[in-house]
């Protein structure tokens, strides 16, 4: 989950922190986020949420001062971790709407009164509350989780448009200079596929399995992927169209994350869980899947068997 992947880029750790210390910290952070999230099965008050952010910051600072920058798991990073974790759970209908949204540089760029703040440097709950108040002024009557999700979705759409433009320009240059067919031409002719395995990297706060799909190296180039970046794809699982996120680890492993967004008429209508979507077509942990690319650019996920291809 990207809650943990971004820690190394937020100035969380001290320069002397060992990989083992970082791993232990991430494991404890995961446990504490899971523990705190159980409180959000029903609505949590503003005061309770602020208290949870402080508690997360102070407890981990006390336990891991030896590997944290300046000995602190700062409020700004703690709020991002907790708010982002709650956002994922809320998007798949596992918890009630949380009071706040994740605050990072993208969200702060939409807050005219707070552009002097760097979220990774904040270590004061009153300064963090300044972000919350500014966001509520901008969001007006819209709840903060919905307001932030709209910002994120608009950013995804814009990035998708930029990538599509770059891809089309690259393919045009390639076709103009190549003596043979391009990779995309070959894929269109032979119907390229990707094979994946359903893995279980963890559990939801309710104790239910959390599924992801690990894509086999051969055929992974069928899917758009880039290290540490979420690449959205439109994929049919059964008769339902979802937006899924394709990721790539630092070691080059390509995978589809556990959070989906159901789409209707080209628009996202609600969050969904990969485990539930796969169950609709009879798939479960350790099963293999096959992913094909459709002519309209969408993908199709089906159970894998020897006759599938």
Indicate the average pLDDT of the chain.
Answer: 84
Q: What is the pLDDT of residue 188?
A: 42
Decide which of 218 and 290 is more confident: 290
Residues for the chain: how many in total?
309
Predicted confidence (pLDDT) at residue 264 exceeds the cutoff of 60? yes
**Please, what is the angle between helix 46-64 and helix 125-139, to 10°?**
140
The stretch 1-7 carries a mean pLDDT of: 55
Amino acid 226: pLDDT = 85
Query: Distance from CA of residue 175 to its chain's centroid?
Result: 34
Please tell me the chain's helix, strand, coil percentages from 3-state DSSP, rounded to the nearest 5.
Answer: 45, 20, 30
pLDDT digits 0-9 by tens, 199-228: 998 877 667 888 999 998 877 888 998 887
Mean pLDDT, residues 149-167? 64
Instruction: Supply the pLDDT for residue 141.
Output: 85
Domain ranges of the chain: 2-149, 181-303
What pLDDT is attached to residue 309?
46
CA distances from 255 to 43, 215, 220 (A): 33, 5, 9
Do 53 and 122 meet the contact criterion of CB atoms below 8 Å apart? no
Q: What is the mean pLDDT of residues 35-47?
A: 90
- The residue that leads in pLDDT, 206 or 158, is 206
Residue 9's pLDDT band (boundaries 50, 70, 90)? low
- What pTM was estimated for this model as a whole? 0.57
Tens-digit pLDDT profile for residues 116-131: 999 999 999 999 999 9
CB of 300 closer than 8 Å to CB of 294: yes
């Amino acid at each position: 989950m990207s809650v943990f992947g971004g820690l190394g880029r937020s100035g969380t750790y001290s320069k002397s922190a060992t990989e083992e210390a970082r791993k232990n910290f991430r494991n404890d952070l995961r446990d504490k986020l899971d523990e705190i999230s159980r409180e959000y099965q029903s609505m949590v008050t503003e005061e309770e949420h602020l208290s949870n952010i402080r508690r997360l910051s102070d407890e981990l600072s006390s336990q891991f001062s030896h590997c944290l920058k300046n000995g602190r798991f700062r409020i700004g990073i703690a709020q991002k971790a907790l708010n982002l974790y709650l956002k994922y759970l809320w998007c798949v209908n596992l918890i009630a709407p949380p009071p706040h949204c994740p605050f990072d540089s993208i969200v702060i760029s939409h807050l005219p009164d707070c552009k002097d703040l760097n979220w990774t440097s904040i270590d004061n709950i009153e300064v963090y509350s300044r972000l919350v108040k500014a966001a509520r002024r901008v969001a007006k009557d819209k709840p903060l989780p919905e307001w932030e999700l709209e910002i994120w979705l608009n950013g995804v759409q814009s990035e998708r448009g930029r990538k599509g433009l770059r891809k089309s320009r690259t393919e045009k240059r390639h076709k103009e200079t190549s003596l043979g067919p391009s990779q995309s031409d070959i894929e269109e002719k032979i119907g390229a596929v990707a094979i994946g395995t359903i893995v279980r990297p963890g559990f939801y706060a309710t104790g239910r399995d959390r599924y992801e799909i690990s894509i086999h190296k051969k055929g992974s180039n069928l899917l758009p992927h880039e290290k540490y970046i979420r690449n959205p794809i439109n994929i049919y699982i059964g008769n339902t169209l979802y937006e899924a996120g394709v990721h790539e680890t630092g070691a080059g492993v390509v995978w589809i994350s556990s959070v989906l967004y159901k789409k209707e008429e080209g628009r996202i209508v609600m969050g969904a869980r990969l485990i539930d979507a796969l169950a609709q077509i009879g798939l479960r942990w350790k099963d293999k899947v096959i992913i094909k690319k459709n002519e309209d650019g969408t993908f199709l996920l089906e159970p894998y068997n020897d006759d599938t291809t």
